[in-house]
Amino acid sequence: MSREKPEAIFEKYLDSPDNLNAEQLRLALDFQDTSPVEALSIRRRREAERRDAQSKELARETWVRQGGDASQFAAAYKELSAERRKAELAEAENAARHASASAMWRTF
């Protein structure tokens, strides 16, 4: 029997199911069936990490293309990332306010 946690085996399954033995494959599939919320959470986290990595790489390419020094990008990315998150939060807040106002006006 495998001593690894089912969550870890499930993540390995998501990476490369061909590298799992039969027992690990069974445990990964059982985990997905018995803990669908956790499995979905793991999938979503990994997808968010993938999107973040792609976004960072695109920002780095844009930085260099616009004349920035690639060696200084890591420090600048922290600031750029914080600004982007602030803008995303502001956009989400505005959308929520608009939806709330629309719902209120529909009730009149």
**Please, are residues 31 and 9 in contact by the beta-carbon 8 Å criterion?**
yes
- The answer on 34 and 74 residing in a single domain is no
Range of the domain at 79: 69-108
**Which sign does the torsion angle of CA 38, 41, 47, 52 carry?**
negative
Residue 49 has pLDDT above 90, yes or no: yes
The pTM score is: 0.63
- The answer on 42 and 78 residing in a single domain is no
- The answer on 60 and 8 residing in a single domain is yes
Tell me the pLDDT band of 2, cut-offs 50, 70 and 90: low
pLDDT at 48: 93
pLDDT at 103: 83
- The answer on 62 and 75 residing in a single domain is no
The angle formed by the CA atoms of residues 24, 29 and 35, to the nearest 5 degrees, is: 120
Domain count, the chain: 2
- The answer on 7 and 46 residing in a single domain is yes
**Please, are residues 23 and 1 in contact by the beta-carbon 8 Å criterion?**
yes
Q: Minimal CA–CA distance to 46: which of 17, 15, 20?
A: 15
